[in-house]
Chain A
Amino acid sequence: EDQVTQSPEALRLQEGESSSLNCSYTVSGLRGLFWYRQDPGKGPEFLFTLYSAGEEKEKERLKATLTKKESFLHITAPKPEDSATYLCAVHPSGAGSYQLTFGKGTKLSVIP
């Protein structure tokens, strides 16, 4: 069974304090890994897609990386507006690959 585990469940950072969020996955084959941001009362907002090990994507203070077993979302010098829940999802390559498998997310709080 495909599994996605995100850690930590919650993370509190001071403004400017860089850190990383982890997404570990177990799938029979990976077609793509997605990162989303979800604000309270809103739907997930797409951030990045990673397709193969070694790939990196950047957007403002966020940088996503991918290995064969996990992905990291690095946050450099975060600001309070980066506070949100960050979700990781994998698109497996096996049968029934129409669906994404999501992790539970990491709730990030950035304190001014």
Chain B
Amino acid sequence: DTAVSQTPKYLVTQMGNDKSIKCEQNLGHDTMYWYKQDSKKFLKIMFSYNNKELIINETVPNRFSPKSPDKAHLNLHINSLELGDSAVYFCASSPKSGVSPLHFGNGTRLTVT
């Protein structure tokens, strides 16, 4: 039933570990995204991806990498986690990469200790 679903909802891990967050959308959308919402509540784009193109926000460390096994899935892998990676990560999708509204998942709260 859920349009954009993420797992896990909560993730607590130690510095230096590698972790993944999974995202699936059943809306048939062409483009998927990862956003980061920090403690100041700003939502910032990390990646935009469709079946042709990966666009990376240049401020994102290369420890973060998106992986898309198919059009309905976009997972986020994070290597060598740091304290500053603690945040809420949102997956989203849209029908196309142009001016169209985003449909968000409910977020994954990552806490790095």
Binding site for A on B (CB under 8 A): 4, 40-45, 48, 55, 57, 90, 92, 97-99, 101-107
* B99 with A49: CB separation less than 8 A: yes
* A98 with B97: CB separation less than 8 A: yes
* A100 with B45: CB separation less than 8 A: yes
Q: Mark A37-54, 1 if CB is under 8 A from B, else 0.
A: 000011111100101000
Q: Which of A32, A42, A99, A102 contacts B48 (CB 8 A)?
A: A99
* A44 with B99: CB separation less than 8 A: no
Say whether, besides A49-B99, A100-B102, A43 and B42 are in contact (CB < 8 Å): no
- A25 in the interface (beta carbon within 8 A): no
- A104 in the interface (beta carbon within 8 A): yes
- A69 in the interface (beta carbon within 8 A): no
User: Can you name 21 A-B pairs with beta carbons within 8 Å?
Assistant: A32-B99, A41-B107, A42-B106, A43-B4, A43-B107, A46-B102, A46-B103, A49-B99, A51-B99, A85-B41, A87-B43, A98-B45, A98-B48, A98-B55, A99-B57, A100-B45, A102-B42, A102-B44, A104-B40, A104-B41, A104-B42
Q: How far is the CA of A58 from the CA of B4 in the complex (A)?
A: 25
* Chain A residues within an 8 Å CB radius of B103: 46
Name the distance in Å between A96's Cβ and chain B's nearest Cβ: 8
Q: How far is the CA of A85 from the CA of B37 in the complex (A)?
A: 13
* Chain A residues within an 8 Å CB radius of B92: 43
